[in-house]
Structure formats: structure tokens, C-alpha cells
Amino acid sequence: MRRERMTRGWSQSDAVHAMRTFSNVPLPEGLLDQWKRWERGRNKPDEFYRPLIAATFGTVVESLFSTPRPPLASGNAFLLSATGMDTHALIQRIRCSGVDNGTLDAIAVKVEQLCCDYARRDASVAESEAEKEVVEAENSLRVKRAELAAKANQAEEKAAVARAIARVEEERRLEQLRVELNRSKYEAEIVVPARADKEADELRAQGQAARILENGKATAEAMARLREQWKSEESRDIMLLQMLPDLLDRVTSVLSENLHIERLTVLDGGEGGLSSHVRGLTGSIVAVMEQLKNATGVDVAGILRAKENGKPEGSFPKELG
């Protein structure tokens, strides 16, 4: 008792005060004197005070107040008989985290045995075995920490691989979306307008072809009707009269476009100036008729003569042929 108290740096009063805190009933006032007698060895604590003193020093009764009992064959034999496992099996169970009720019971038995043996054994032997137990426990702890670190590293590596795979999958999905977007953009900006322009060109070409075809049909039909009308005397006369101004305009346009006369003065040179001018105009008319015949194939003079003599009216103009 004195060794345990002095190890903690307590006075006898401190030890008595600490012991009162573990008691469920009030302790007598003269307990300090009783404590002094216990340390001097005049008497020993009874069964009531022993558990209180052991609790005060944080140990078990056997470590302070050992009683004679038969020596144990060995620590492992006692632990094996009490729990079904030896010290090595207990350490392995702790190392593999197989902590169950049986393991806890084995630990309790082992601790109690160590406390009891500590009071009876030689100090050097007890210290050596305690150091051995501490070394084994530290080794088990290091192994357990290494296993936990390995598991943590493995989990972190798996998580990193999973993140990398997820990132690759996401990038692949985004690339597919970009390809689809570019394809849709190309379709909208290039293909669709080109297809629309092509279809519009085809429709315009069809429209132009249809218009040309219809114009050709209309022209052919008009020409056929003109041929039929040309066979009729009255229709032919009307057609010639309608065509004559345009034909004369075409013939005389050359002179009107290239010859500009601001004023015309007729001088009589003694040869009948006015009559000569009239004859010149008549000759000009004849020349114009000849030019009209050569240019258009319409013989106006011949048609008029045939009309007068009752002969055939002439051929169909080549412009209407």
C-alpha cells in the first residue's frame, strides 16, 4: 500500500480521501489512523476495505493482498483452460479484429492473471514478460495499422481508377455530342440549303422547260392559224396591211438612224426640179419595195398586181413560214 501511494505522490490523507470516493457508504472518521496501522503492518484490511483500496489504486485485490494458492502450471495453460485459447491465439484474434464476447472474456482473464502473478513473481521476470506482451501488442498494432493503411490505399486506388474511368466515359460522351452537333450544324448550314437550292433550280428548270414548250406549242398553233388565214383573200389583205407599217419601218430605219436632214431645199436647175424630185421619190418607193422583197420575201407590188389582174395572190411570207 505504501509503495502504491508513494508512486502516485499521495499523502496518507490523500489516499484516504480518494478511497472515500469509491465507497457507497460513509466511512468512519478514524480511517486515517487505521490507514497508518495498515501501512505499519499492525493489522491488515478486512474483506470490506480490500476492494476499496484496490479500486483507489486502480488495480485488483490480488495484486495488493495475495492469498496463498497452488502454483499455476503456466500462463497459457490457465488461459487455455479458462477461455479455450492461449496467449498466441488471443493476440491473433485481436490482430484480425475478431473481437467478440469470448475475446473480451479471454482478455479479462489474461489481465487478472497478470495482475495476480505480478504480485507473486520476481520483479525482473514480471517486467520481462510485461515487456514481451507490450512488444507483441505493439507489433500487432503496427500490423493492424499497416493492414488498414493498405486497405485505405487500395480503396483510394480503386476510387481513383473509378474516377478516371468516369472521366473518360464523360469525355467520350461529350465528344459524341460534339460530333452530333457538328453534323447537325453541317446539315442545317450546308446540306439543307444546297438541297433546297437544287430542288428550286430543278423546279425553275421544269418551269422554264414547260414555258418554252408551251410557247413553242402556242407559236406552232399561231403559225398554223396564220397559214389558214393566209389562204383566205380577205385575211391575207388584212395581214399585209397590218404587217406593212412594221416592214416599212424596218426598211427605212437604216436611213432614219444614219441620215439626219434638218431642212430640204429643192432648186430648179432648168430640168423640171419638182417633177424630177417626184420621179426620184417614186424611184425610191420602188427601191424600198425591192428591198422589202429581198429582206422579207413579201412582194408587195406583185401582190397588188395579182389582186388587180385576178391572179393567185402570191406565196406565204418566209417570216411566217
Model pTM above 0.85: no
78-121, pLDDT tens digit by residue?
666 666 666 767 667 666 655 566 666 666 666 666 666 655 55
* Positions of the chain with pLDDT lower than 50, given as ranges: 72-73, 312-313, 316, 319-320
The widest CA-to-CA distance across the chain, in whole angstroms, is 198
Note the pLDDT of residue 73: 47
170-187, pLDDT tens digit by residue?
999 999 898 988 888 888
Note the pLDDT of residue 72: 46
Note the pLDDT of residue 269: 55
* Whether 112 contacts 60, CB under 8 Å: yes
How many Cα neighbours within 13 Å face the side chain of 52? Answer: 20
How many Cα neighbours within 13 Å face the side chain of 315? Answer: 10
Note the pLDDT of residue 270: 54
- Domain boundaries along the sequence of the chain: 2-143, 147-231, 233-320
* Whether 69 contacts 92, CB under 8 Å: no
Q: Which residues contact 10 (CB under 8 A, 6 or more apart)?
A: 18
* Whether 10 contacts 32, CB under 8 Å: no
